[in-house]
Structure formats: C-alpha cells, structure tokens
Amino acid sequence: ELKVEQNPLFLSMQEGKNYTIYCNYSTTSDRLYWYRQDPGKSLESLFVLLSNGAVKQEGRLMASLDTKARLSTLHITAAVHDLSATYFCAALRSNTGNQFYFGTGTSLTVIP
Amino acid sequence: DTEVTQTPKHLVMGMTNKKSLKCEQHMGHRAMYWYKQKAKKPPELMFVYSYEKLSINESVPSRFSPECPNSSLLNLHLHALQPEDSALYLCASSQPTGGVGYTFGSGTRLTVV
C-alpha cells in the first residue's frame, strides 16, 4: 500500500514569511499532485508534477518533485492571509493506473 | 464554475431513509470516483469506476451502493445509514490513467440523524 505523509500537520505563520510543506510517500509513484481545500469546500487542484525534478510555480506557491527521494515540497513565499487553507498532496499509485493516495493534509493559518 | 456537478449540496436524512447522491461530469473523463471526507481528515476513497465498470470498492458497507448509468453520470445510493456516516461526500473524475489529476465536484454535505 502506498502511504503518503505530510508535515507539518498544522502550520501557523506570519504574513510575509516563507515556509515549506513536505510530502513523503512510501513506494514508487510517478506523479504527485497538490490540492487546496478551504473550510467546508471541495478540493481545488494546484499543481501536477509528472516527472522527477519537476518544478511548478503559481503566485506565491512553488511545488517540486524528487522521485528518487520520494519527496515533494510546497514552498510558500511571503505568505498572505488568502493562503490560509488546508493543503493536501496526493500520489498516484503507478500500477493501479488511477488510484490516488492522499497525504494527511497541512492546515495553514497565515496571521497578520 | 466546476465541471463536475454534484447534487444535492446538503442532505439531511434519517437512519431509515433511502436517498441518492448524484454526480455529473462533462469533461470526457472515463474514470469517476466517490470519496468520503470527515472534518479535518483527508478524503477516503470509496469506489472507482473505469469505463463505467466498478474497478475498486474499498470495503465500503453495503448501505452505500454506487451506480454508473453512463460515462457522464455517477450515483451513490444510500440506505439505512448511521450517524457516523455523516460527512462530506466528494465525486471526482479523471482520465483512466490519472492524467493531470482529479477534478472534484463541490461535494454533498450529508447529515444522518
């Protein structure tokens, strides 16, 4: 079974600061996805990382993938309050084709 | 606008009721999914349909019964639920190989009383 762990589980950070969320997975996975979820809402796709070394950036968020280390990171630059949400990574289990395994989630609160 | 539409958005049902959740996608995806999410937890996979056939059932109790009438529609029939089944139920779709990931619907907030 593919296990996906995120840390930290909870993150409180001040506006303007930088921080990184880590996502580790236990077995081979070629693809890694990041989602954002606001309270009571559904999941919104942020990034799709399809190969080793992939780096994607959108605004203050940047995601990267190292398949050899089985690690993905989500880096937050100069945080703003609007980034407060829960962030999930999800790994695709290669030999099942389409089954995602979600990480535990990181609840981010950006405080003024 | 989401391209995966779920109805209803909210549902309150008694433990003896029968109800259905509906999901429709117009993205041409051939894989559709039901997930259950409790507060402050990640989504838990319930069912996977690929090409309208049930391919994964994650040991879900029989009081949950999925149905995929065609490539655009996915239903979840509910009967004799328990209060602990109260949760956010999410439908998602994707290409059969996962592709660029899932597109999630807005979810149905289910409360069992």
Walk along chain B (113 residues) and give the pLDDT tens digit of each residue. 459 999 999 999 999 999 999 999 999 999 999 999 999 899 999 999 999 999 888 889 999 999 999 999 999 999 999 999 999 999 999 988 777 889 999 999 999 99
Provide the pLDDT for residue A95: 63
Share above pLDDT 70 across residues of chain A, in percent, rounded to a whole number: 96
- Higher pLDDT: A51 or A47? It is A47
Share above pLDDT 90 across residues of chain A, in percent, rounded to a whole number: 76
- Higher pLDDT: A40 or A77? It is A77
Residues 58-97 of B with CB under 8 A from A: 88, 90, 94-97
pLDDT (mean) for A71-93: 95
Cross-sheet strand order for the sheet of B18-25: B4-7, B18-25, B73-79, B64-70
Contact A43 B56 (CB under 8 A): no
Which residues make Cβ contacts (< 8 Å) with residue A10, sequence separation at least 6? Answer: A106, A107, A109
Q: Indicate the residue of B31, B101, B106 with minimum beta-carbon distance to A33.
A: B101
Q: Indicate the residue of B40, B88, B96 with minimum beta-carbon distance to A98.
A: B96
Token pair in block for residue B44: 């838990």
